[in-house]
């Protein structure tokens, strides 16, 4: 089954304790990204990756890191989490298609992070 898998689904942590949220996709997609969802703000892109070893900042990258060592995995790293990073996080992947071609983003189930 084609899917994007995030782990963990729920996480409560304390301020300053480094954490990693994993994301894996089995569709051989080139493009992967991380979003955070906050009430009234929709989804905002944190980081994205167009292929292995190619990553770039999205709209809200502060306080986050990512890496893309393998095509299927795109972990999100919070080196020193703070309470304002309490949010619902989604990983997404999509194929690299030419302009004018069919595409869509496939989303994981989400990770609800609480930083106290």
Partner 1 sequence: AQSVTQPDIHITVSEGASLELRCNYSYGATPYLFWYVQSPGQGLQLLLKYFSGDTLVQGIKGFEAEFKRSQSSFNLRKPSVHWSDAAEYFCAVGAGYNFNKFYFGSGTKLNVKP
Binding positions for partner 1, rule: CB under 8 A? 4, 31, 33, 35, 40-45, 48, 50, 58, 90, 92, 94, 96-105, 107-110
Nearer to partner 1, 42 or 62 (CB): 42
> What is the closest distance, in whole angstroms, from the C-beta atom of residue 9 to partner 1 in the complex?
9
> What is the closest distance, in whole angstroms, from the C-beta atom of residue 102 to partner 1 in the complex?
6
- The pair of structure tokens assigned to 71 is 């095509």
> What is the closest distance, in whole angstroms, from the C-beta atom of residue 50 to partner 1 in the complex?
7
Helix (H) or strand (E) holding 89: strand 87-94
The angle at the Cα of 110, spanning 98 to 76, to the nearest 5 degrees, equals 75
Nearer to partner 1, 40 or 62 (CB): 40
Nearer to partner 1, 1 or 40 (CB): 40
Query: How does strand 65-66 pair with strand 76-78?
Result: antiparallel
Cβ atoms of 33 and 45 within 8 Å: the answer is yes
Cβ atoms of 18 and 11 within 8 Å: the answer is no
Nearer to partner 1, 85 or 93 (CB): 93
């Amino acid at each position: 089954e084609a899917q994007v898998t995030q782990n963990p689904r729920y996480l409560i942590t304390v301020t300053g304790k480094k954490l990693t949220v994993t994301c894996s996709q089995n569709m051989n997609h080139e493009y992967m990204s991380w979003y955070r969802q906050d009430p009234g703000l929709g989804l905002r892109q944190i980081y994205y990756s167009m292929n292995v070893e190619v990553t770039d900042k999205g709209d809200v990258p502060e306080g986050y890191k990512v890496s893309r060592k393998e095509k299927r995995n795109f972990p999100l790293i919070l080196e020193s989490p703070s309470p304002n990073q309490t949010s619902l996080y989604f990983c997404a992947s999509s194929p690299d298609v030419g302009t004018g071609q069919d595409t869509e983003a496939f989303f994981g189930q989400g990770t609800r992070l609480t930083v106290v």
